Structure 1
Amino acid sequence: MFHEDAKIAGSINSRNVFFSSMISGGVAGTVCDLTFFPLDTLKTRLQSQHGFNQSGGFRRLYQGVIPVMVGSAPAASLFFITYEGIKEFAQPKIPQTYHLFIHMGAASLGEMVACLVRVPVEVMKQRKQALLQDKGKLKLRTLYRGYGSTVLRDLPFGLIQMPLWEYFKLCWKRQACRDCTPLEGAICGAGSVAVAAVITTPLDVAKTRIMLSDTSAEKDEVKISTMLKEVYREKGAKGLFAGFAPRVFGFTLGGFVFFGVYEQVKATCSTIFPYTSIPSS
């Protein structure tokens, strides 16, 4: 009887984690991306190989917002469904000392899954942000051209950001002797995102250039290593950190809004999809 009750409770919890992650991740992703879209446009144009002014300068800062409106929610939902799902499954089975590795693994897999939606959205968005005029529809190969570089950028970003976020929240919880409020979770999120944004900027520069490359470019021309060497040869170390200020500033503010909205919506969802306690034997 106990095993059946535990199985039912586990099934309910899994379903509730799925729905709460889907809703809170989707809302947070959409609010954050739309709020900070102009900063993202400036960052893209600063990193563009076509030059800031030729890519639009300070004009039409919401160019390319439509793909973001369509793709932000599914990408963020997929990330948090994967991330929270793995945590829900693995954490009860593993001592707390090793939870860091669960967070790292969950974040890595979450980024890879989310990139299936995020990459084509980013390609369309960034090409529009840079005012590139593509003749006809982009081929599937072009839409996923930046998948490898985006994963290589987002994997380290997620590996740094999510464990740091969990660690900052844990430290706050121990200090305050209670769970973090959504506002406190937002502050922890902003700190973790700022650190991750600083470290991964060169990878972001390479990813942007790959996505803005000519559609006829050969595979060898759009490798992340090739782009990093090209940027360094053209502009040195400074070029590898092009768009640093708007990226870090925007990501820090974005992290605050994103994790704040996520925590608040998740808290609201917990009243709609409550966890079921597993009965004791």
Structure 2
Amino acid sequence: MERKEFFASLLAGGSAGMCVDLILFPLDTIKTRLQSPQGFSMSGGFRGIYAGVPSTAIGSFPNASAFFVTYETVKCWLHSESSSYLSPLVHMAAASMGEVVACLIRVPSEVVKQRAQVSPSSTTYQMFAATLHHEGIRGLYRGYKSTVLREIPFSLVQFPLWEYLKDLWSWKQGRPLDSWQSAVCGAFAGGFAAAVTTPLDVAKTRIMLAKAGSTTAGGDVFLALTGIWKTQGFTGLFAGMVPRMAAISLGGFIFLGAYEKVRSLLL
């Protein structure tokens, strides 16, 4: 990847990510509280829906930038080494690598944000300080494995589907897509990926919110999913699916559309 393309991906990804995360933050708060073991009302209900937003504001730009720089770099490298019919596999591999790198930034931000979301009476800084005091740096990375295990399947569905829909639409109209058309493809791809990966998102939320020292806090995704199934059944596994789909569909529209638009302008 050339230096110009590198900086275009960096700025476009960061700008799009921060824009989406801040606009759709209330939906994310509602989703987190629906998935919380305390229950929606005890976690704050509709009160203080911007609790934890400073954590998102700080982490969003570098997180999205890290993802797209890695995604475009790996995609560029693999495309030069493979045939066109392997494109879906290339997009899957690039998205997976992007998520592994981005989660190094995303997870600490997510831990602090989610704990603030279910304790709206505490500030983001208080949650950050309390996590460091009681659990150290390790506490900020609690749920890293479960986040990666959620994000990789999500990206394996979303990005190949997004690229496929773009190629199909472009082929049917006989010219490259406009940024709004890319955004529509992103909305469909994101909404579908969000629906099928909701159980992994619920497990990730439970692990991040679990009391230190508890079995769930150990980070075992299968154990968390089993516990949810035993206590709440199918409904518990798909808690918060509707706001998650709504947020990610809207997010996919804004995020991927804005990314394509900003990147094309910079290039």
TM-score interval, smaller chain: over 0.9
1:75 aligns to 2:72 (yes or no): no
Q: CA deviation at 1:95?
A: 1.5
Secondary structure of the corresponding residue to residue 78 of structure 2: helix
1:136 maps to what in 2? 130
Spell out the pairing of 1:172-183 with structure 2 (5 A cutoff): 172-183=169-180
1:94 maps to what in 2? 82
| TM-score (normalizing by structure 1) | 0.89
Task: List gaps (5 residues or longer) in structure 2.
Answer: none
Q: CA deviation at 1:93?
A: 3.1
Alpha carbons 1:14, 1:88 under 8 Å: kept: no
Secondary structure of the corresponding residue to residue 46 of structure 2: coil
Secondary structure of the corresponding residue to residue 130 of structure 2: coil
Secondary structure of the corresponding residue to residue 44 of structure 1: helix
**Count of residue pairs brought into register by the alignment:** 258
CA distance in 2, matches of 1:65, 1:29: 14
1:159 aligns to 2:156 (yes or no): yes
CA distance in 1, matches of 2:249, 2:145: 25
Spell out the pairing of 1:20-169 with structure 2 (5 A cutoff): 20-131=8-119, 136-138=130-132, 139-169=136-166
CA distance in 1, matches of 2:47, 2:112: 18
CA distance in 2, matches of 1:125, 1:153: 17
Q: Which runs of 4+ in 1 moved over 6 A?
A: none
Q: CA deviation at 1:215?
A: 2.5
Deviations 1:148-176 (A, max 9, x none): 00000000001110111110011011111
Identity of aligned residues (%): 48
1:10 maps to what in 2? none
Larger Cα Rg: Structure 1 or Structure 2?
1
| TM-score (normalizing by structure 2) | 0.93
CA distance in 2, matches of 1:154, 1:61: 24
The one-letter code matched in structure 1 to 2:187 is A
Question: Given the superposition, is the C-alpha separation of residues 43 and 157 from structure 1 closer, same or farther in structure 2, using an over 3 Å criterion?
Answer: same
Alpha carbons 1:182, 1:263 under 8 Å: kept: yes
Question: Given the superposition, is the C-alpha separation of residues 186 and 197 from structure 1 closer, same or farther in structure 2, using an over 3 Å criterion?
Answer: same
The one-letter code matched in structure 2 to 1:124 is V
Secondary structure of the corresponding residue to residue 54 of structure 1: coil
Q: CA deviation at 1:50?
A: 1.0
Deviations 1:231-279 (A, max 9, x none): 1111110100000110111111111011111111111111xxxxxxxxx
CA distance in 1, matches of 2:82, 2:7: 24
Q: Aligned Cα RMSD in Å? A: 1.4
Alpha carbons 2:210, 2:216 under 8 Å: kept: no
Deviations 1:27-81 (A, max 9, x none): 0000000000000000000000011111100000000000100000101101100
The one-letter code matched in structure 1 to 2:253 is F
Question: Given the superposition, is the C-alpha separation of residues 221 and 84 from structure 1 closer, same or farther in structure 2, using an over 3 Å criterion?
Answer: closer
1:229 maps to what in 2? 226
1:203 maps to what in 2? 200
Q: CA deviation at 1:216?
A: 3.2
Secondary structure of the corresponding residue to residue 136 of structure 1: helix
**Greater relative contact order, per chain length (Cα 8 Å cut-off, separation 6+):** 1
CA distance in 1, matches of 2:215, 2:203: 16
The one-letter code matched in structure 2 to 1:249 is A
Task: List gaps (5 residues or longer) in structure 1.
Answer: 1-12, 271-281
1:257 aligns to 2:258 (yes or no): no
CA distance in 2, matches of 1:41, 1:124: 13
The one-letter code matched in structure 1 to 2:27 is L
Q: CA deviation at 1:86?
A: 1.3
Alpha carbons 2:207, 2:216 under 8 Å: kept: no
Please identify, of 219-228 and 147-156, the stretch whose mean Cα deviation from structure 2 is larger.
219-228
Secondary structure of the corresponding residue to residue 127 of structure 1: helix
The one-letter code matched in structure 2 to 1:95 is S
